[in-house]
Structure 1
Amino acid sequence: MSILEVKDLTVAFRQDGKTNMAVKGVSFSVDRGETVALVGESGSGKSVTALSTVSLLGDVAQVGGSVSYDGQEMIDAPDRLLRKVRGNDISFIFQEPMTSLNPLHTIERQLTESLALHQSVVGHEARTRVLELLQKVGIRDAESRLGAYPHQLSGGQRQRVMIAMALSNKPDILIADEPTTALDVTIQAQILELLAELKRSEDMGLLFITHDLSIVRRIADRVCVMKDGEIVETGPTAAIFENPQHPYTQKLLSAQPSGQPIAVPAGAKELVKTDSLRVWFPIQQGFFKKVVGHVKAVNDATISVREGETLGIVGESGSGKTTLALAIMRLIGSEGGITFDGSDVRGWSTKRLRALRKEMQIVFQDPFGSLSPRMTCEQIIAEGLSVHGVEPGRNRRDMVAEVMQEVGLDPAMMHRYPHEFSGGQRQRIAIARAMILRPRLVVLDEPTSALDMTVQVQIVDLLRHLQDKYGLAYLFISHDLNVVRAMSHKMIVMKQGDVVEAGSAQDLFDNPQTDYARSLLAATLEPSG
């Protein structure tokens, strides 16, 4: 008998007098010791389905059908039963641990709170149990971490704490909702291995929600593919990957950034160059703020990028990738040489740098976080024109319409606000905001990691098209090496502020010279399909 059984589940939300169906007749089951993956793009109903299992959608949702846990019906179950099951028998891990962990409480307090609430375990016994949990999920020197706050841990450590919290009450079912999306490839591989090991040792059922099929191939026993609130295909993982039947499944499996970057034109001139660039942040102590050391964010980085060329910058979180890019753009202080278009820009005044800003633009990882929710699409894209001026003889709205068409957006949508666009459309707005100034260098800081696989492919194709059309130089920062390979002519690998390897992207992928580069490549999940 399955530990979790979902039959004909429907979920509807009422908004503005209309009923929107988010889940339409979904059925699946999860057995003990089994991993079932719910796969689909954003808006397909995956997370809504998962939250419905223990009635976490609230009164705004109209839920029908049946969700049975260990023979007990969960839909319309009494609050007393739901409180017992939630976090105890069925536990959740979410995508971004920083939004799930309380920033004001220590790790120890947050873990012991769960034990006290569900098992009445307190005091020394609770502390001992917390240490066991942290060690089980691979937190080194666990005792020294008990007093840490979430912001003092790395992304991988925070996710391990979330897993420890989810496991604290020995659940029968663990629901993991995009638990590795925001993590580096090496950390992602560790978390997936940890989940698989815990599933075996604890004999749990694991419901794994993701849009990344390469992860599914690695971890899942069975797959349910969701589209528009329905399961369009289900079956054993191997069968789905080897012989997908539904056109949507086939589309998902083929949605991997692929191809090669467009060749750099012969004789392309060098646009950006650094010479032993260094960014050290002082560590200050005491009343007089005496400098007692430095955080060596970037050490002696020497790079060059030509017009029409992409330099891929890879490495784990904290390796200095973004710091290097910000220093090149003169947004943070640094030592060493920075040359842009043949001019040494280190000593430039703020006034002189303003003209340079038009030549350098940046596109960030999370388009929703980098777009003002109070500005329309038109206002966001045209914002840079207010600073740098409109081209003589050009109308501002015409320029916005033109660049929107160029990035694949309908100019008729320019009066909408960011929340009215999909994730892929928001990223296109961010790209349009950078491109309207006709820059020569664009920093792309994880521009695809928050996007569905099919949307990733579209954004990569768009960026290559714009680069070919305008001869743009890109600094492409990413932990997704499949995307880096599709975009980059050259690559550098960074570790703890040092450039440990540099060369052509092809050579580095085919024959990495350092152990660290080899470990990064080995941790990259195999492409699906």
Structure 2
Amino acid sequence: MSENTPLLVVDDLAVSFGPVQAVKGVSFTLAKGETLALVGESGSGKSVTALSILQLLPYPRATHPRGSIRLDGAELVGAPEPALRKVRGGRIAMVFQEPMTSLNPLHSIEAQVGEVLELHLGLRGSTLRDRVVELLSLVGIPEPEKRLGALPHELSGGQRQRVMIAMALAGEPDILIADEPTTALDVTIQAQILALLKGLQARLGMALLFITHDLGIVRKMADRVCVMNAGEIVESGPLPQVFDAPAHPYTQRLLAAEPKGKPHRAGEGEPVVMAARDLKVWFPLKAGLWRKTVGHVKAVDGISLDLKRGHTIGVVGESGSGKTTLGLALLRLLDSDGEISFGGTRIESMSAGTLRPLRRQMQMVFQDPYGSLSPRMSVGQIVGEGLEVHEPAMHAAERDRLIAAALEEVGLDPATRDRYPHEFSGGQRQRIAIARALVLKPKFIVLDEPTSALDVSVQAQIVDLLRDLQARHALAYLFISHDLRVVRALADDLLVMKDGKVVEAGRADELFKAPRTAYTRALMAAAFDLEVA
């Protein structure tokens, strides 16, 4: 292969799922050592295109009515399975967006990373084990020797994604396809992973096909960009050309869609809705035959806060810093020590029965709307479930009216309330989760990473929606996120957490301009000045 010959050629590729054409005549090339970014909203055909390269689509339901995919001149479309097995994980490896669905829940991390090394490099015994440890260390798993026996559910989301990256790199592939590889990662870990990928790319001459909705990553990683919409590449070219002078209206709209604007400003004299003093959540560590407590994981360690009506406190920090635990403790969904006050009433010692009438005023929107919405219930049933619990005597017609009003308020057609969650996009499912919280007319909502898995254009819509709802209903938000750009657009005040403690707190605009601690500065640098060496 000459220096100018592309490593991978995708030519006029089409993918059909029955009568639905998901990819329509896509063409691009990928050279050795090059990074090509595929960008576009959910449903644009990015992942289907990537899966086609490895011939991993669900055949025979998916077909290629036309097109060609060639690796070093060898055709992959319709290639025999033995040939494809050598390519998958060997010549071309893939990192998937959701590691929990890609990792075997019954096999240890060592077994899963080691399987790739055994199949493609023939490693065995202590050499195999040493290489597994080396790979886990490379992708940032702390004390990898101690995590070899861990099962996937025993790792955090970010750690599971790092294991997936280690598996992909194990075979030292010529091409790495990364499908939203940093979605679940903190900004600092994200920067480390991107720097790692860049370093490995330089060392191995590896080509990267990068699929992401994070345009900030694209700016730092890509040499060339292909913008996809409705199964077609609507614009492509070198990064500066596409990002600095976009020609297609869709590209222009996508680049303009990042979360913007300023937080809704309520009056400083508003009453405190939720308060905590010296809040602690310690999980015991047990060991020995009698399972004695030998220490504690201090998930939340002595945190105090005051959240006023109509205000937002943003909570930021890396995975494991205690952000979600703090939110769950404030809602009394976890046992804790310290004082918790809601509307001036102490609730930390209330029994479940006494607390129940207050529950409707304290709601939560979870990170993964698909996981938190029952697939067996219609959208109307999901949104109305809280009304059935808290207003059992309410007439069915009135309940239906409130459900329709809540859906309409979050920008969904009330006529869709008889449909099920799988029939909606990710952004629409997140709107359903917000409607479920709103229908009870709460005063306080914990928003736990509500935009992390969404396209940048949908993120902007959800941020605008949350601001609008807060202005209309004077809602108090505890907004938990690792995306500091979204936090900056929503939060009045900021709590920066590390290892269960608040390392810095204050007005959000002041901390974004002049962070005081090294940890906060590192978070800000990773989010806004992402450097990949």
Q: Which TM class, normalised by the smaller chain length?
A: over 0.9
Which residue matches 2:466? 463
Distance (Å, rounded) in 2 between the aligned partners of 1:55 and 1:392 = 53
Q: Pairwise mapping of residues 490-501 of structure 1 onto structure 2 (< 5 A)?
A: 490-501=493-504
Deviations 1:266-305 (A, max 9, x none): 5311111111111112223345442222111111111001
Structure 2 match to 1:437:
440
Q: Distance in 2 between matches of 1:189 and 1:150?
A: 23
Change (3 A) 1:269 1:35: same
Q: For 1:323 and 1:256, how far apart are their aligned partners in 2?
A: 28
Shift of 1:265: 2.6
Q: Distance in 2 between matches of 1:383 and 1:392?
A: 12
Cα distance change, pair 154–374 in 1 and its aligned pair in 2 (3 A): closer
SS at match of 2:472: helix
| 2:29 equivalent in structure 1 | 29
Letter in 2 for 1:465: D
CA, structure 1 residues 139+472, in 2 after alignment: closer, same or farther (shift >3 Å)?
closer
Equivalent of 1:118, from 97, 120, 128?
A: 120
The CA distance in 2 between the partners of 1:232 and 1:433, in whole Å, is 37
Contact 1:390/1:396 (8 A) holds in 2: no
Residues 1:478 and 2:481 are matched in the alignment: yes
Instruction: Select 1:12's aligned residue among 16, 19, 34.
Output: 16
Q: Following the alignment from structure 2 to structure 1, what is the Cα–Cα distance between the partners of residues 142 and 357?
A: 48
Residues 321-349 of structure 1 deviation map (CA, whole Å, 9 limit, x = unaligned): 11111111111111111111111112222
- Deviation, structure 1 residue 25: 0.3
Q: CA deviation at 1:60?
A: 1.3
1:2 aligns with 2:6: yes
The correspondence of residues 313-328 of structure 1 with structure 2, limited to 5 A, is 313-328=315-330
- Structure 1 residues 10-31: Cα deviation after superposition (integer angstroms, max 9, x where no partner): 00001xxxx0000000000100
1:98 Cα deviation from its structure 2 partner: 2.6
Which of 212, 236, 241 is 2:238 aligned to?
236
Deviates more, 1:43-52 or 1:75-84: 75-84
Matches within 5 A, 1:299-310: 299-310=301-312
C-alpha separation in 1, matches of 2:174 and 2:250: 32
Partner of 2:182: 180
Superposition deviation, residue 132 in structure 1: 3.8
Q: CA deviation at 1:364?
A: 0.6
Amino acid at match of 1:357: R
Q: Is the 8 A contact 1:98 1:158 kept in 2?
A: yes
Find the aligned partners of 2:304 and 2:338 in 1 and give their Cα distance. Answer: 9
Q: Report the residue type matching 1:3 in the other structure.
A: L
User: What is the CA–CA distance in structure 1 between the aligned matches of 2:211 and 2:156, rounded to whole Å?
Assistant: 23
Deviations 1:458-488 (CA, angstroms, capped at 9, x unpaired): 1111111111111110000000001101001
- The residue type paired with residue 46 of structure 1 is K
Residue of structure 2 in register with 1:47 after alignment: 47
* Amino acid corresponding to residue 59 of structure 1 in structure 2: P
Which residue of structure 1 aligns with residue 61 of structure 2?
Answer: 60
For each residue in 1:111-167, what CA deviation from the matched residue of structure 2 results, as whole angstroms up to 9, or x when unmatched?
222222223332233234334433444445443433333334344433332222212
Alignment of 1:194-213 (within 5 A): 194-213=196-215
Q: Residue 416 of structure 1 corresponds to which residue in structure 2?
A: 419
Aligned partners of 1:277 and 1:141: how far apart in 2? 30
1:512 is the counterpart of 2:512: no
Which amino acid is 1:444 matched to? L
Cα shift at 1:511: 1.1
Secondary structure in 2 aligned to 1:37?
strand
Which residue of the partner structure matches residue 88 of structure 2? 86
Aligned match of 1:331 in 309, 330, 333? 333
83-92 or 98-107, larger mean C-alpha shift = 98-107
Matches of 1:235 and 1:502, distance apart in 2:
43
In structure 1, distance between residues paired with 2:140 and 2:391 = 54
Partner of 1:363: 365
The structure-2 alpha-carbon separation of the partners of 1:112 and 1:349, relative to structure 1 and needing over 3 Å to count, comes to closer
Could you tell me how far 1:33 is from its partner in structure 2? Answer: 0.4
Question: Secondary structure at 2:173's aligned position in 1?
Answer: coil
CA separation in 1, counterparts of 2:169 and 2:476? Answer: 47
1:275-290 equivalent positions in 2, closer than 5 A: 275-290=277-292
Contact 2:158 2:319 in 1 (8 A): no
TM-score, structure 2 normalization? 0.95
CA contact (8 A) 2:314 2:491 kept: yes
Superposition map of 1:128-277 within 5 A: 128-277=130-279
State how far apart, in whole Å, the 1-side matches of 2:269 and 2:135 are: 58
The Cα RMSD (Å) is 1.7
Residues 475-484 or 331-340, more deviating: 331-340
Evaluate the alpha carbon distance shift between residue 141 and residue 389 of structure 1 in structure 2; reply closer, same or farther with a 3 A threshold. Answer: closer
Equivalent residue runs for 1:345-360 within 5 Å: 345-360=347-362
Aligned residues of 1:215 and 1:525 also touching (Cα < 8 A)? no
Identical residues among aligned pairs (%): 60
Tell me which amino acid in the other structure corresponds to 1:319: S
Call closer, same or farther: CA 1:183–1:465 in 2, change over 3 Å.
same
Q: d(CA) in 2 for partners of 1:479 and 1:391?
A: 41
Residues 24-76 of structure 1: CA distance to partner in whole angstroms, max 9, x if unpaired? 00000100000000001110000100111121112211112010001101111
Deviation of 1:256 after TM superposition, in Å, equals: 1.0
Alpha-carbon separation, structure 2, partners of 1:144 and 1:344: 42
For residues 87-122 of structure 1, give each alpha carbon's deviation from its aligned partner in whole angstroms, at most 9, with x where no partner exists. 111111111223222222222222222222223332
- The letter for the 1-side match of 2:505 is A
- Cα distance between partner residues in 2 of 1:69 and 1:309: 55
* Equivalence for 2:490: 487
1:278 and 1:301 in contact (8 A); partners too:
yes
Number of aligned positions between the proteins = 523
Indicate how the Cα distance of structure 1 residues 391 and 209 shifts in structure 2: closer, same or farther if over 3 A, else same: same
Given the two structures, how large is their TM-score scaled by the length of structure 1?
0.96
Report if aligned partners of 1:310, 1:489 keep a CA contact under 8 Å in 2. yes
Secondary structure, in 3 states, of the residue corresponding to 1:302? strand
Deviation at 1:200, TM superposition (A): 0.7
Q: Secondary structure at the match of 1:200?
A: helix
CA 1:326–1:61 in structure 2 vs 1: closer, same or farther (change >3 Å)?
same
Secondary structure of the equivalent of 1:303? strand
Query: What is the rounded CA distance, in whole Å, between the counterparts of 1:13 and 1:275 in structure 2?
Result: 56
Cα distance in 1 between the residues matched to 2:168 and 2:283: 36
Is the partner of 2:466 in helix, strand or coil? helix
Structure 2 unpaired stretches of 5+: none
Distance in 2 between residues matched to 1:369 and 1:138, nearest whole Å: 27
C-alpha distance in 2, partners of 1:525/1:83? 40
